[in-house]
Amino acid sequence: MTLDVALGLALAAGLFVYLLAALLAPERF
């Protein structure tokens, strides 16, 4: 696994968690 792939996966995971939190708790955003 190269560094850009690891960074891309981390970014995708962070964005997914952010969107999931926004869907579950929209009053915070």
pLDDT by residue for the chain (29 residues), tens digit each? 799 999 999 999 999 999 999 999 877 76
| Tokens linked to 14 | 């962070």
- The whole-number pLDDT of residue 27 equals 79
pTM of the model: 0.63
| Separation CA 6–CA 3 (nearest Å) | 5
Q: Looking at residue 26, what is its pLDDT? A: 75
Tokens read off for 12: 């995708």
pLDDT of residue 29: 66
- Res 14: pLDDT: 98
